[in-house]
């Protein structure tokens, strides 16, 4: 069996690779990246590290040859992703790959206002009509984002606001997304044509989550219920670009487009993220981490 992982140099790709290396010989892994030198350690262990770029269809097809199953980790290039993902699906088919596992998002419906949700919807459609076997992993919001990124900002400002209203989310640990993906890849034929909701074990409003963090940290944060127009003004005042720009995630003050973040909040408010499943447990045999457990994992960063 040969498992191909795209985005293998990224955070999620590295977590999935590390888990698979505990279950299958390194020689069964083909790792794709535009920068093979970043995966030198994995190559030393015996993994086949290959150059691949979603913007280069012939090169991608060459890189996928010999693979049985592809872990297609969605890219971050909003606006280009449907083309990139569709290129990868077609290249996989042309290269003889039989099965694609795709990292989608929670609440994938044609009516979702979320820009990334629409792109995941289009990719899911392309995958389901490709003739390949597939497994779709609809990852909910990473629980880690709140204690790692949003809580330090809330502590610094003493307040934080969202336009998600009473919309609910079952945030999931990124490690559980990786565990679910590795579990599917190691036994992919058993998961043919399944769509899984990869969520945490409990639904919360954003206000619930910040109340919990505030209590745990003993650093009071005022939670503000904002309208979408008010939230847009907050993003604009922070100098965050409305549209996506390539490479922006490397800029700590302008790391993601506000159009995408605002429409994500709209999707939460409209109930598209109000999904809580036990699919992590079903796939991995271990229950998903609770939000409180994820907070404990990251809270050291607040105490600095
Ligand atoms: N659920 C959530 O809350 C949430 C939040 C944010 C992101 N996400 C999702 O999380 C996943 C990525 O997470 P991550 O943390 O691993 O991201 P990351 O660390 O930024 O890694 C991104 C990966 O994508 C690869 N990539 C980007 N453009 C590419 C291209 N044109 N051709 C080939 N490879 C390309 C990069 O590979 P090279 O640079 O090495 O080529 C890199 O390995 C994505 O599926 C994203 O949609 C989910």
pLDDT digits (tens, 9 = 90+) for 17-32: 999 999 999 999 999 9
Which of 6, 7, 50 to mutate to test ligand 1, by most ligand atoms within 8 A of the CB atom?
7
pLDDT at 252: 61
| DSSP assignment letter at 185 | H
Q: How confident is the model at residue 243 (pLDDT cuts 50, 70, 90)?
A: confident
Q: Is 150 a pocket residue for ligand 1 (Cβ < 6 Å)?
A: no
Using an 8 Å Cβ cutoff, are 105 and 171 in contact? no
Please give the pLDDT value at position 96.
98
Q: Is residue 204 within 8 Å of residue 166, measured between CB atoms?
A: no
pLDDT value at 254 more than 70: no
Which residue in 280, 41, 279, 209 sits closest to 8, CA to CA?
Answer: 41
Q: If you ran DSSP here, which 8-state letter would residue 39 be given?
A: G
Query: Does 17 contact ligand 1 (Cβ within 6 A)?
Result: no
Confidence of residue 250 (pLDDT cuts 50, 70, 90): low
Q: Which of 60, 76, 171 to mutate to test the pocket of ligand 1 (most atoms within 8 A of CB)?
A: 76
CA angle 118, 122, 125 (to 5 degrees): 140
CA distance 180 to 137: 8
Helices (H), the chain: 11-21, 40-45, 57-64, 81-95, 115-128, 145, 151-157, 174-186, 206-217, 228-237, 258-269, 279-284, 291-298
* pLDDT number for residue 246: 76
CB of 141 sitting under 6 A from ligand 1: yes
Ligand 1: distance of its center to the CA of 236 in Å? 25
Best mutation site among 12, 19, 62, 79 for ligand 1 pocket (most ligand atoms within 8 Å of CB): 12
Mean pLDDT of the chain: 95
* Closest protein CA for atom 9 of ligand 1: 74
Confidence of residue 43 (pLDDT cuts 50, 70, 90): very high
70-121: pLDDT as tens digits: 999 999 999 999 999 999 999 999 999 999 999 999 999 999 999 999 999 9
Beta carbons of 101 and 138 less than 8 angstroms apart: no
Q: State whether residue 113 is helix, strand or coil.
A: coil
pLDDT tens, residue by residue, 122-178: 999 999 999 999 999 999 999 999 999 899 889 889 999 999 999 999 999 999 999
Among residues 223, 99, 106, 209, the alpha carbon closest in space to that of 159 is found at: 223
Q: How many A from CA of 75 to the centre of ligand 1?
A: 5
* Ligand 1 center to 220 CA (angstroms): 33
For residue 253, name the pLDDT band (cuts at 50, 70, 90).
low
pLDDT at 251 over 80: no
* Domains present along the chain, CATH in parentheses: 3-140+173-198 (3.40.50.720), 145-167+201-275+289-302 (3.90.25.10)
pLDDT at residue number 256: 79
pTM: 0.96
Is the pLDDT reported for residue 249 higher than 80? no
Question: Taking residues 204-219, what's their average pLDDT?
Answer: 93
Q: What is the pLDDT of residue 60?
A: 98
Joined together, the tokens standing for residue 272 give: 């598209």
What the block records as the tokens of 195 is 């769509």
Centre of ligand 1 to C-alpha 81, Å, is 11
pLDDT bucket at 299, cuts 50 / 70 / 90 = confident
Question: What does the angle CA 277 – CA 278 – CA 283 come to, to the nearest 5 degrees?
Answer: 125
């Amino acid at each position: 069996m040969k498992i191909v992982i795209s985005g293998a140099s990224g955070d999620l790709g590295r977590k999935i690779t590390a888990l698979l290396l505990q279950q299958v010989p390194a020689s069964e892994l083909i790792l794709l990246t535009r920068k093979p030198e970043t995966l030198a350690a994995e190559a030393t262990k015996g993994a086949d590290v290959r150059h691949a770029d979603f913007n280069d269809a012939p090169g991608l097809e060459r890189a996928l040859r010999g693979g049985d199953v592809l872990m297609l980790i969605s890219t971050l290039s909003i606006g280009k992703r449907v083309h990139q993902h569709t290129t990868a699906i077609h290249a996989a088919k042309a290269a003889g790959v039989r099965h694609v596992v795709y990292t989608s998002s929670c609440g994938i419906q044609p009516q979702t206002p979320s820009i990334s949700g629409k792109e995941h919807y289009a990719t899911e459609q392309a995958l389901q009509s490709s003739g390949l076997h597939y497994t779709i992993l609809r990852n909910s919001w990473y629980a880690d984002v709140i204690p790692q990124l949003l809580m330090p900002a809330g502590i610094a400002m003493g307040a934080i606001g969202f336009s998600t209203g009473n919309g609910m989310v079952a945030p999931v640990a990124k490690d559980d997304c990786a565990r679910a993906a590795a579990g599917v890849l190691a036994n992919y034929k058993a998961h043919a044509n399944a769509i899984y909701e990869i969520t945490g074990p409990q639904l919360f409003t954003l206000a619930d989550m910040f109340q919990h963090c505030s209590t745990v940290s003993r650093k009071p944060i005022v939670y503000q219920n904002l309208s979408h127009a008010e939230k847009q003004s907050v993003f604009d005042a922070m100098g965050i670009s409305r549209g996506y720009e390539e490479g922006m995630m490397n800029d700590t003050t302008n790391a993601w487009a506000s159009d995408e973040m605002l429409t994500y909040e709209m999707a939460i408010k409209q109930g598209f993220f109000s999904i809580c499943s036990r699919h992590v447990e079903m796939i991995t045999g271990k229950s998903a981490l609770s939000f409180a457990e994820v907070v404990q994992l990251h809270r050291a960063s607040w105490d600095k």
